Chain A
Amino acid sequence: MKVEGVTLRFGGVLALQDVSLHIAPQQIYAIIGPNGAGKTSLLNCICGLYRPQSGRIQYGDVDLVGLPTHHLPRLGIARSFQNIELFRHMSVLDNLMLARHVHMKKNIFSALLYWGRGQREEIRQREFVEHVIDLLEIQGIRRQTVAALSYGLQKRVELGRALATNPSILLLDEPMAGMNVEEKEDIARYILDINEEWGVTIVLIEHDMGAVMDISDYVAVLDFGRKIGEGKPEEIRENQAVIHAYLGQADER
Chain B
Amino acid sequence: MAQQSGIFHEDYRSDLQLRPTTMQRLRLVLLFVFLFGMPVFAGSLEMRYANNILIALIGSIGLNILVGFTGQISLGQGAFLAVGAYSSGLLVVYLNVPWYLSILLAGAITALIGGFFGLPSLRLKGLYLAVATLAAQQIVQWVLRNWDPIDGDINQRVGEALNIPAANFFGHRLNDNEYAFYFVVLFFAVLAVLAATNLFRTHIGRAFIAIRDQDIAAEVMGVHLFRYKLLAFATSSFFVGVAGALLAQHSTSISWESFTINVSIQYLAMIIIGGLGSVSGSIYGAIFITLLPQIIRGLGNGIEDALQLVASAESQLAAHFAERFQDLLPRIEQGAFGLAIILTLILEPEGLRKLWQNIKDYFRLWPFSY
- Spell out A's residues near B (CB within 8 Å): 47, 49, 68-74, 78-79, 81, 85-90, 94, 97-102, 104, 106, 108, 110-114, 118-119, 121-123, 125-127, 161, 165
Given contacts A85-B214, A88-B213, A123-B12, contact A111 B205 (CB under 8 A): yes
Instruction: Establish whether residues A165 and B203, one from each chain, have CB atoms under 8 Å apart when the complex forms.
Output: no
Main secondary structure of the interface of B (DSSP, over half): helix
> Smallest CB-CB separation from A87: which chain B residue?
B213
Does the CB pair A70–B225 fall under 8 Å? yes
Partner of A69, one of B199, B204, B210, B220: B220
- Most chain A beta-carbon neighbours within 10 Å: one of B12, B13, B216, B217: B217
Q: List 18 A-B contacts (CB under 8 A).
A: A70-B222, A72-B220, A78-B221, A85-B214, A85-B216, A87-B209, A87-B214, A87-B217, A89-B213, A94-B209, A98-B218, A100-B203, A112-B198, A114-B202, A118-B198, A126-B16, A161-B221, A165-B221
Verify A122–B202 contact, CB threshold 8 A.
yes
- The answer to the question of B223 belonging to the interface, with a C-beta cut-off of 8 Å to chain A, is yes
- Residues of B whose CB lies within 8 Å of any CB of A are 12-13, 16, 195, 198-199, 201-207, 209-210, 212-214, 216-225, 231, 235, 277
Instruction: Return B118 CB to nearest CB of chain A, in Å.
Output: 14
- Chain A contact residues: over half helix, strand or loop, or mixed? helix
Docked pose: A101 CA to B205 CA in angstroms: 11
Query: In the assembly, what is the distance between CA of A125 and CA of B207, in Å?
Result: 15
Contacting pair A73 B221 (CB below 8 A): yes
Minimal beta-carbon separation of B226 from chain A (angstroms): 9
Given known contacts A90-B213, A94-B206, A114 and B201 CB-to-CB distance under 8 angstroms: yes
Say yes or no: A89-B216 contact (C-beta < 8 A), given A70-B222, A101-B222, A165-B222. Answer: no
Which of the residues A85, A101, A161 comes within 8 Å of B203, measured between beta carbons? A101
Is the beta-carbon distance between A106 and B201 smaller than 8 angstroms?
A: no
- Known A90-B206, A98-B210; contact A108-B220, beta-carbon cutoff 8 A: no
Q: Are A74 and B213 in contact (CB under 8 A)?
A: no
A89 touches B209 (CB 8 A): yes
